[in-house]
Amino acid sequence: MKCVIVDTLKSPYAKLKPVPVSSVKLTDKFWAPRLKMLREVTLPSQYEILEKTGRIENFRVAARKTGKISWRIADDSDVYKWLEAASLSLAYQHSDELAELVDSLVKDISLAQDENGYLFTYYSIKRKEERWTNLRDMHELYCAGHLFQAAVAHFRATGKRELLNTAIKLADHILNIFGPNKRLGVPGHPEIEMALVELYRTTGKVDYLKLAEFFIDQRGKGLVGGSIYLIDHKPFRELDEIVGHAVRSLYLNCGATDVYMETGDESILRVLKKLWDNMTKRKMYITGGVGSRYQGEAFGEDYELPNLRAYAETCAAIANVMWNWRMLLALGEAKFTDVMELAIYNGALSGISLDGKHYFYVNPLADRGKHRRQPWYSCACCPTNIVRLLASIPGYLYSTSDDGIWTHLYVASEAFIDLRGQKVKIVQHTNYPWSGDVETVVEPEKTCEFSLFLRIPGWSGDVEVRVNGKPINRRITPGTYLEIERTWRRGDRVEIDIPMPIKLIVSNPRVLCNACRVAIKRGPIVYCLEQVDNPECDVWDVVLIPEKRLIAKYKPDVLGGIVAIEGTAAVIDYNVWKDKLYLPLEEVSMKMREAKLTAIPYYAWANREPGPMITWIKSLLH
């Protein structure tokens, strides 16, 4: 029987609809412990820091209408991002402690709002006349956007309207000021665009959607100076290269994708596809990290992907996940899932320590041991972004379409998915990301005909799929969704075997820094060599010999449980080089010795004693 689809989130031009975090319970050893740590360690400790640094107090001062507001760039947004993460975490699993913090914070925020709806603590008491006068630098609209996202997440998690009302009041205030025939303006840091669309989806008020579109189309007219950094050098619809501040650029793309999902505007989609191609084919690290350039925290030129001086801000990798998630929802293509997965497991996850209390802002792909995660940053965007990402993970596993249920990330879990008015329980058994064998049990309330769309990762090879033990005889293509259309009965079992051989990856030769270098990858995980595991040599001196066999070994007690890669490699005799920088070729002996080698997942580096690390390893190849 075909049944009517219930749209909780109405996005007429989106191919897929999300399944909320509240519908999914993780049972695995990779993500479930991380979500527990998020709930019990990271979020409470961040709240403490937000309190200690005055970020929360700012709202109380604003409410009292007397006192001194402390100022750090975009500090209100840190509070909102924490609140969004905490709300998602509550939606996933309740915690009294967290709920209490959330309730108190929602009250603090709501009380800080002006009568007229304005809410931005820095201008709450003094300098009121400067409100909305410096959109480029002051991040008012950016903070508003984060409030909207927090409010929607809070409403969905708790059903409580208090914060949503605050958000609506601020959004309406902004609507009164900005728009066609009102004030023109460009948010210096995009964010409000996607937030307005989300607020539109939640409230049905179409003005929010229109304002999002308006903000996108005001760019490129020089309203904030015309810089590439701010992606103000060209109108959005004329962009053909991904440039500028990486997080700004990707947040803008998120907003534009959200607008597309509501409006079906092809001229937006065309641009998004072009930017995506440019980014993924020329400007993305193997980790899914982006924004290679320190200067301006920006996308560099094509193939400008330095390793030692990679910037690759944690926020940019997270934004990469956010954008690809939206592109996936819009178009239902597996290439977006591939990038999303890549960035989640590597370039974004490296942003937080295994103890849940230290963060990377910058994520180099090579280091000599000086780069360490910090407990906090004065610009705290990354710590409060990684908690949003972690809290969102359960919501990235599945989505639904008119035709059925889509599986994106493989994680041992139980999900209760609304499909055409009935609940379908999906249980996954897997040791992903360490193994590609996934058993999925489908349990519809009632027998029901629909398609199960299984993601076949782009990095995979010969994948085997069996339904109730019977192999599927169709061609299974990596980088697509395999549609299994059938009448599903309780207990139907789908097995997917995705082999995870160790792969040596090489770069496009125009990535000058990676010449004669390989990266080790297994499944979605990118590996690196860290000094602490390799006492026999300096890891920068390792030369991988492709012919030598590498072995994957599960080590439950190392770095929270990882698959390590072991083998032997050649090692340069560094002594001849010690005091030389350049030598004529004929004077160099390329003498090498052999040494044991152990590689660990890139995301887990810098959690033990400091030392050299390298991701792109020299190799005997051309």
Please name the residue that has the structure tokens 């609507």: 175
Give the shortest CB-521-to-its own copies separation in angstroms. Answer: 8
- Under the binding rule (CB under 8 A), the answer on residue 297 touching its own copies is no
Q: For its own copies, which is the closer residue by CB, 185 or 288?
A: 288
Strand partners, 599: 529, 565
- Under the binding rule (CB under 8 A), the answer on residue 228 touching its own copies is no
Q: For its own copies, which is the closer residue by CB, 221 or 591?
A: 591
- Under the binding rule (CB under 8 A), the answer on residue 111 touching its own copies is no
- Under the binding rule (CB under 8 A), the answer on residue 460 touching its own copies is no
Number of residues interacting with its own copies: please give it, by CB under 8 A: 58
285, 265 in Cβ contact below 8 A?
no
Q: For its own copies, which is the closer residue by CB, 81 or 293?
A: 293
Q: For its own copies, which is the closer residue by CB, 177 or 308?
A: 308
How far, in Å, are 12, 13, 448 from residue 261 at the CA level?
Answer: 6, 4, 28
How far, in Å, are 317, 334, 358 from residue 480 at the CA level?
Answer: 23, 5, 36
User: Using CA atoms, how far apart are residues 284 and 306, in angstroms rounded to an integer?
Assistant: 11
Give the shortest CB-348-to-its own copies separation in angstroms. Answer: 18
Q: What is the contact mask toward its own copies in residues 476 to 505, using x (rule: CB under 8 A)?
A: ---------------------------xxx
Name the residue among 61, 52, 50, 78 with its Cα closest to residue 147.
Answer: 78
Catalytic annotation present for 381: yes
Name the residue among 297, 401, 470 with its Cα closest to residue 13.
Answer: 401
Give the shortest CB-178-to-its own copies separation in angstroms. Answer: 34
How far, in Å, are 260, 317, 505, 546 from residue 569 at the CA level?
Answer: 50, 31, 16, 9
- Under the binding rule (CB under 8 A), the answer on residue 622 touching its own copies is yes
Give the shortest CB-584-to-its own copies separation in angstroms. Answer: 5
Q: For its own copies, which is the closer residue by CB, 44 or 478?
A: 478
- Under the binding rule (CB under 8 A), the answer on residue 517 touching its own copies is yes
Give the shortest CB-455-to-its own copies separation in angstroms. Answer: 19
Q: What is the contact mask toward its own copies in residues 529 to 548, using x (rule: CB under 8 A)?
A: -----------xx-x--x--
79, 128 in Cβ contact below 8 A?
no
Q: For its own copies, which is the closer residue by CB, 448 or 617?
A: 617
User: Using CA atoms, how far apart are residues 535 and 542, in angstroms rounded to an integer?
Assistant: 12
Options 330, 519, 550, 597; binder of its own copies; rule CB under 8 A: 519
How deeply is 560 buried, as exposed, middle or buried, from its count of CB atoms within 10 A (0-12, 13-18, 19+)? middle
- Under the binding rule (CB under 8 A), the answer on residue 245 touching its own copies is no
Q: Which of residues 352-381 bind its own copies (CB under 8 A)?
A: 366, 368, 370
Options 221, 281, 555, 593; binder of its own copies; rule CB under 8 A: 281
Q: What is the contact mask toward its own copies in residues 28 to 57, using x (rule: CB under 8 A)?
A: ------------------------------
How far, in Å, are 85, 113, 226, 381, 391 from residue 46 at the CA level?
Answer: 11, 23, 36, 12, 14
Options 512, 548, 553, 554; binder of its own copies; rule CB under 8 A: 512
Give the shortest CB-409-to-its own copies separation in angstroms. Answer: 21
Cis-peptide into 44, omega within 30 deg: no
User: Using CA atoms, how far apart are residues 518 and 534, in angstroms rounded to an integer?
Assistant: 18
Stretches 119-127, 218-226, 322-330, 513-521: which one binds its own copies (CB under 8 A)?
Answer: 513-521
User: Using CA atoms, how far apart are residues 278 and 222, in angstroms rounded to an integer?
Assistant: 24
- Under the binding rule (CB under 8 A), the answer on residue 620 touching its own copies is yes
The Cβ of residue 582 has, within 10 Å, a number of other Cβ atoms equal to 4
- Under the binding rule (CB under 8 A), the answer on residue 205 touching its own copies is no
327, 336 in Cβ contact below 8 A?
yes
Q: In what order do the strands lie in the sheet with 464-467?
A: 24-26, 413-419, 422-430, 437-444, 492-497, 464-467, 470-471
User: Using CA atoms, how far apart are residues 203 and 249, in angstroms rounded to an integer?
Assistant: 27
Which of 143, 315, 381, 382 is catalytic? The answer is: 381
Q: For its own copies, which is the closer residue by CB, 154 or 522?
A: 522
Give the shortest CB-293-to-its own copies separation in angstroms. Answer: 7
Q: For its own copies, which is the closer residue by CB, 358 or 368?
A: 368
Q: Which of residues 572-611 bind its own copies (CB under 8 A)?
A: 572, 574, 577, 579-585, 588, 590
Options 244, 289, 306, 523; binder of its own copies; rule CB under 8 A: 306
User: Using CA atoms, how far apart are residues 84 and 109, in angstroms rounded to an integer?
Assistant: 13
The dihedral formed by the CA atoms of 382, 397, 525 and 566, expressed in degrees to the nearest 10: 130
Catalytic annotation present for 379: no
User: Using CA atoms, how far apart are residues 462 and 476, in angstroms rounded to an integer?
Assistant: 8
User: Greatest CA span in the chain, whole angstroms?
Assistant: 78
256, 274 in Cβ contact below 8 A?
no
Cis-peptide into 535, omega within 30 deg: no
Options 295, 378, 473, 575; binder of its own copies; rule CB under 8 A: 295
Q: For its own copies, which is the closer residue by CB, 38 or 537?
A: 537
Which of 213, 297, 341, 495 is catalytic? The answer is: 297
Give the shortest CB-216-to-its own copies separation in angstroms. Answer: 28
Report DSSP state, residue 9: S
Residues that bind its own copies in the complex, under the rule CB under 8 A: 277, 280-282, 284, 286, 293-295, 300-302, 304, 306-309, 366, 368, 370, 503-513, 515-519, 540-541, 543, 546, 572, 574, 577, 579-585, 588, 590, 614, 616, 618, 620-622
Catalytic residues: 297, 381
